[in-house]
Structure 1
Amino acid sequence: MKPRRRGRDVAARAKASRPAKRTIARRGRADFQQTREALLESEKRFQSAFEYAAIGMTLVGPDGKFLKVNRALCKMLGYQESELLSKTFQEITHPEDLEEDCDYVRRMLTGEIRTYQMEKRYFRKDGRTVHVLLSVSLLRDSTGEPVHFISQIQDIHSRKEAERALRESEARFRALIEEAPIAIAVNRDEKRIYINQAWRRLFRIPEGWEVRGRPVLENWAPEWKDLIADYARRRAAGAPTPLEYEGVCRRHDGTQFPAWIAARWLRLADGPATVSFFRDLTKRKEAEKTIVEERERLMAILRGIGDAVIATDRDRRVIFLNPVAETLTGWRQEEAVGRSLPEVFRIAREKTGEACESLLDRALANGGSAAQSDPVILFARDGARRLIEDHAAPIRDREGRILGGILVFRDVTERRRMQEEMLRAHRLKSLGFLAGGIAHDFNNILTVIMGNTSLALAASALDERFRKYLEESEKACLRAKDLTDQLLTFSKGGAPVRKAAFLPDLVRESVKFALRGSSVGFRDEFPPGLWAAEVDVGQIARVFNNLALNSVQAMPNGGRITVSGQNIACESEVAPPAKKGRWIEVLFHDNGIGIPSEQIGSIFDPFFSTKSQGSGLGLAICHSIITRHGGRLFAESEPGKGTTIHLLLPAAEQPPSEAPPTPSAPVALRGRILVMDDEEGIRFAAKTMFLALGCETECAEDGAQAVALYREALDHGTPFRAVLMDLTVPGGMGGREAAREMLAVDPDVRIIASSGYSTDPVMIEPQRYGFRAVLAKPYTVADLARVCASVFDA
C-alpha cells in the first residue's frame, strides 16, 4: 500500500508543478527578447556614434585591413569609403612612422599592451601628408582571439604646422638675439639666466666663464647697487619702475663705464623673467662733456653781450636766443628753438610799416655779413613794437661750409625817443618864450576889456539891447582868456601847483564833459587801489579833456574811449620813466582811425594837426603839462585800429586829505510816464517835475532799456501814457532808434523828443520820425506841462 501511495504523491506533485514551469519558460523567452532588443539598440547607437563622430574612427582587422571607416576619416584623408575599405593602414602610413605603429600592433596582439596612442602621418589621396593623433584598442572574442582594432584618429595637422613654425621662429629669434649688436641679458630672481655675445663683449667676459646663475648686482658699480635692487623689488611687486634709464656698470675686469639700460618684464613658459638691454655710453658722454664745456663758454660770452643774439641753422630755424633776445622778442629760448626765424623775429620798415626781409636771409644767400642802413620795427610776441638796429652773418665750419647764421640786434627805441624828446623840448622852449610874452601883454588888454564890461553890466539902468551886446563881449573875452591860458602852458608861468589827487574821478569828469553832444561812448577800467598822483588838478583835467576831444575827432562815426590805469613800482617795460620810483600809468585808448607811422612822431609838436580846423596846440599842451609834472607822454597807434596814449605821472607820497567822492546810488523810479536819458541828473529832475504834475514815472538809461520796459508794460496791460526820450546816448541806443522799435510794437505810442541840440533833424521835424512833440533842453516844469498836455489832448 505504501509504495503505491508514494507513486500517487509524485504524480500529484508533477501535475502541480506544470504551470510553474510554463511560467518560467515564458519569462525566459521575454528576457531574451528584451536583451536582444537592447543589444540591437546599443548597436544602433554605436553605429550612429561611429558614423557621425567629429573625429575619424575605423575598425581594422588584425592584418591591417580597414573593415569599417566613418565619414570624418574619409574627409580627413580625401578618400571615398569604398576606396579606404580596399586598403590597409600600412599602405597610407608615412614610412617614417610605420615601424613604430606596427610595433605597437604586434605588442597588442601578443597581449603585452591593451591600448596605445601615438602621433603619426597618413598620406592623403592627393599625396599630401596629414598629422594625426592615433588612439587604438583591441577587441577580442570570448576565446581571447583578436577580432579587430578600434581606432580613433584626430587631425592635429594645424597644431603640428604651428609647432613647426614656432620652432623655426624660435631658432631665428635665438640667432637674432645671439648675434644682435646690442647687449642683451635675461634675469630671473636677480640672477642671470641668459646673455648674448654682445653682452659678453661689452662686459669683457672671458671664454669659458659661466655667467648663468651669477647675481645681477655684480655687474653694477657699488653706488648703483641699492637703486638697481630697489628697481628689481618694485618691478617684481608690480609697482611702476623706469623702463629706460642711465647708470654706471662694472665689467668682469673691474672697470666701470656709463650705460643706457632698458628693462622689460617678460612671462616665459618656465616663469616670469626680466630682459635688459645695455648700450655703452662712454663715447657719447665724452662728446657731450666736450659739447657742454664749449657751449658753456659760448653761453658765457653771449650772455655777457649787451646786444640781442639769435642763431639759426641753414633752414633758418632758431637754435639759440640769448637773454637780451628773449626780452626783446618775447620768446623764451625753449619756446623759440625749432621755430622759423620769421615767426620769432618779425620786422617791418619804420616809415611804411611794411614787412621786410631779415638781414639773415641776405647774409645766407650772399655768404657774407649784412647790416641795415635804417632802423626797423621789431614786433614782440605780445604785440609790443621796438625800434632796432641789426646786422647778420653766416656761421661756417672749418671747411667753409655754411652751417647757419647769427643775427645781432639792439633796441634803439629809447635812444630815438630821447632824440625826439630833446628836439621837441627845444621847440617847446622856443615857443614858451614867445607865448609867455604874448600871453602877458594879451592878458593885460583882456583885463581892461573884461573889467569895464563887468562894470557896465552891473549898471541897473542899462538898456537891454546894450546889455546883450556886453554879455556877448564878456563871453568872447572868456574864450580869449582860455586861449591865453593855453599859451601860458608853454611859459614858466604855467608851472603846476601840485597836490595829491585821485585820477579816476578827474578822468571821468573831464572825459564826460568833453563827450557831450557826441556819439562816442566812454568806459573806465581803473583797478581798485590805484595810488593818488601828485598833480595840478586843473592842468591834468585839461590834459584829459584835450585827449578826449582828440579821440572824438578821430571817431567821426562814433566809437568808444576806454581809459585804464595801473600802479608801477619800477621801470615800465613799454616806456620806462626817467628815474625809478612810484608811478601811475594812465592809458587812453580809442578805436578811431589811428595815426600813420610817419606822423606819430610829430603829434605832440606845436601847431601840428591833421585836421583842417585844428589849432595844433591840444596835444602839444598835453605834452608840456605832463613834462612839467616830471612825467612821460607818448602814443602808440595803428591805422584802422585806433590809438593808445600813455601817461606816466609821479605818485603822491601821502593820500589826499579828503577821500574821493563816491557816486550816489541810482534812484529807483516807477510810474506811467517813461523817461529815457543817459544822464542820471536829468532823469531825477524829470521825475521830480512829473511828480509835481501828478504823474508817475519810470526811467531808462538808454533806448534798448526803454524799449524793453515799454514792451513789458504792454504785456502786463499797463501801457505808458507817454514817453520822453533823449535823442543822443553815447555808446548806446538813442531816441531815434528806440522810437522806431516802439512804433513797430505800438503804432499809437506817444513819444516826446528831448535834446539840447536844436539843429537835430528830429527837433525840427519830429512827426517825420514818429515823435508827437519836442521839448528842448533846458526846460522848466511849465514847459514840461505844456508839451505833455498837448500830447495827452491829441
Structure 2
Amino acid sequence: MNLRNHEMSLGIKIAAAACLFLFISLSIPGVIFYKTAAHSLFSAYKYHIILIFGLTIILSLLLVDYFARKIIKAEQELQQRKQEFRVLVENSPAIIARFDKEYRFVYINSAVERETGLPPEVFIGKTSRELDVPEKERVKWERAVQFVFDSGREKIIEAALKIPNGEKCYQARFTPEFAKDGSVQSVLCISHDITEHKKAEKFLQKAQNELEKRVEERTAALTRANETLRTQIIERRQVEDALRQSIEQYRQLVELSPDAIVVCYKDSIVFANKIAAELFGFSSARELVGKSYFELLHPDYREMARERNKLVLEQGKVLTFIEEKIMHIDGTVIDVEAALTPFVYEGKPAVQFVIRDVTERKKMDEEYFKASKLESIGILAGGIAHDFNNILAIIVGNISLARIYLNNKDDRVFQRLKDAEKACLQAKELTHQLQTFARGGAPVKKVFFIEELIQETTTLSLSGSNVQCQFSFPKNLFSVEVDEGQINQVINNLIINAVQAMPEGGKIYVKAENAAVDKFGAENNLPLKEGEYVKISFQDEGIGIPKKQHQKIFYPFFTTKKEGSGLGLATAYSIIKRHDGYITLESEEGVGTTFHIFLPASSKFKKIEKEAEKQLLTGKGKILVMDDEQEIRKVAGEMLSVLGYEAEFAGDGEEAVTQYKKAKKSGRSFDAVILDLTVPGGMGGKKALMEMLKIDLEAKAIVSSGYSDSPVISSYHEYGFKDFVAKPYKIEDLANVLHKVIACSSKTDCQAKKEKNYVK
C-alpha cells in the first residue's frame, strides 16, 4: 500500500509540475509583453489571454488523468506480479522462510507442510526452541541467522530435519533483507532438500574409496580384480554421476596397472597400455595398435591361443591363469600368465587380455623346487654320513689297534696301515662336508696350522686336473681356531671354481699372510672387528666374473654355470661368517679371479711349535662305553684295554644309566663314560647324561657321535659333557681325551701326568 501511495503521489507531482511548466512558459511572454507594451494593448487582447489560460488548465487536467491511468495500470501489474511471485513461492519445492531478530518465523511457505506434515500457521511467530527442534540443529540455525544479522552477508549451511517418515538433509541459504537505513531488518532462508544428493555423494565416496584401495593392493589374481571392477562399473551405472566417471576411472586403472593390458578385436590389437608396450619391447603403446596379438606369441602357443580367444567371444567365458610364452621384439622368449575376459570396445565385441610377466616367479619356483630337492638330499646325506662315520669308526679303530700291535714304524705293513688310517680320516672329512651341506651347524673349532690344512685340501681337490698350484706361506703365520671339516669345504669349493674357470689348464696361486684390522677396517669394506687375522688368497688365471655379477656371487642358487647348483660360494660365505671371518672377491673378465678370506687369529696363542710325535698316553680307571653299534663297542673296548683302562658296555642310554647307578651304589663308580649321542629308537647320550647327573653331579662324560655338526658337539660344556670325541677316532684321539678328562685336574698336573704316562 505504501508503494502505491508513493507512486500516485509521484504521478500527481509530475502532472502538477507539467501544468506549472506550461503556465510559466505561457505566462512569461505575456508578462514581458505586458511590461513592454502599453496597458491598452492588454485590454485589447484580454479575451485571448483568458482563452490561453483556460486551455492550459484543460491540458493540465488531461495530463493528470493520463498519469493517474498509468499509475493504476502499474499498480495492477504490480499486484499481478506479487500474486505470481506468491504462487511461485508457495509452490516452490524449497522451503522458504523469513526470520526476525528473535529467530521467530515471520513467514514460511506451504512447502513446509509437504515436507513435515505441519501447516505454515504452526511455525508463524514461533522460534526453533518453541518448535522442539533438536538442540544441535537449533543452535546451527540460530547461529546462521545471527551471522546474517551481524554481518549482512549470506550464510549457507547443511542441516538435518526430522520428518514423519525419517530424516532429511537440507541445504539452507540465509540472505539478508535490508531496511531503508541499510540495516538488516529480516533474514530470508531458502532450504533445498539434498537428501538424495547426499546419499549419492556418500555412495560415490564409498565407491571411490573402494577403488583406491583396490588399486593400492597387490592382487595375486588380476582377473578377479578386473571382474570386481567390472561389477563395480555395472553398479555405478545405476548412479548418475558414477555413469559419467566410470570410463575415465577404468582408463586410469589400466594405465596404472603393473600388468600388461591389451584389447583385441578380430585378432588385432586396438588398445594397449604402456606396460604392454614395454613387455613386448615397443617404445610406445601406439606401435602395438593394429598388430596381431597372436603373431606376438611364441609359435607353439598361437593356435591354442586363437581357440581360447574364440571360446571367450562365443561363450562369454572368463579364462584365468593361462600360461603362455610371448616373443620380445629382440627375440627373447618371455613366460607370461594371461587372463581373458569378454570386452565391449566402441560397441563391438572384443577380448581383453591381462598379461603378467612371470619369468622371475618361475625362476623362484624352480629354485624353490631345487631347494626342496636339495633339502631332501641333505637329510639323506646327513643320515648316510652318520652311518658311514660309524663304519669308519670301526675301520679306523681296527687300523689303529693293528698299527699299535705291529709297533714297528719301519715295517711296510705299518706304513700301509698308517696310509689307510689317513685315507679313512680324509673320508671322515668328506662325511663332515656332507653333514655341513645337510644342516649347516655351528663349527666345532680346534687350533690348526692353516698352511698344512690348505696344502692338503688343495692338493686333494686338484688331483686329476690339468691345473697346477703355487703356495706361499710366511714362517711366522698365525694359527687359527677353526672347524677343520668346514674350512676344508670352503677351500674345496674355491679350488673347484678356479679349475672350472680354466678349462684349458693354468695356475692357481694360494697365499696366506698375517693381517691386522684396525678401527678403520669398516672404511676399507672390511666389516670385521678390530684385531689380528690370517688372510688367505686364492688367485686363478680364469675367464673372470663380470662386474655386474659381483654383488650376487654369494647369493644362494646364483650361478654362472649351466650345471651349477649355486650353493658352493653361498656355503663358503656362510661358513666363513660363522667363523667370525669375511670373504671378498676381486675379478676382471679375461684376467682372472681372486678370493680373499679373513679368519681371526687364535686368541689362545699365535704360533704353536710342532711337537715331535710321541707315544700313547696311557691311564687307569673304569670306563663305561655306551653305543648302539656292537662292533664300535668291541673296538672301543680293545682300544681302552691297550690304553690300560677297564671297559664296560651298554647298548643304549637306559642301560648305561642303570649300570652307572649300580656301580655308584657298589662303591666302584666309573671314572668316565663315553656316550653315543644318537641311539635309534632308544635313549641317547644327551638324555642319559641328564639322568646320570641326578645320580652323581661329578659324573665325567664324553660325548661321541657320527653327527660331528651337532650343537651338542660344538657346545658340549653347555650340556654337561667334559669333552667330545667325533667318530671315527684314532686310538691317540681317545687316549688324549680320556687323559684330559680323568687325569688332568689342573694344567700343571696335566703336563706332569702326560710326561709320566706315555707308552714306552
What TM bracket, shorter-length normalisation?
A: 0.3 to 0.5
More helix, by proportion: 2
Bigger relative contact order (CA 8 A; separation at least 6) = 2
Provide the TM-score with structure 1 as the length reference: 0.31
Provide the TM-score with structure 2 as the length reference: 0.32
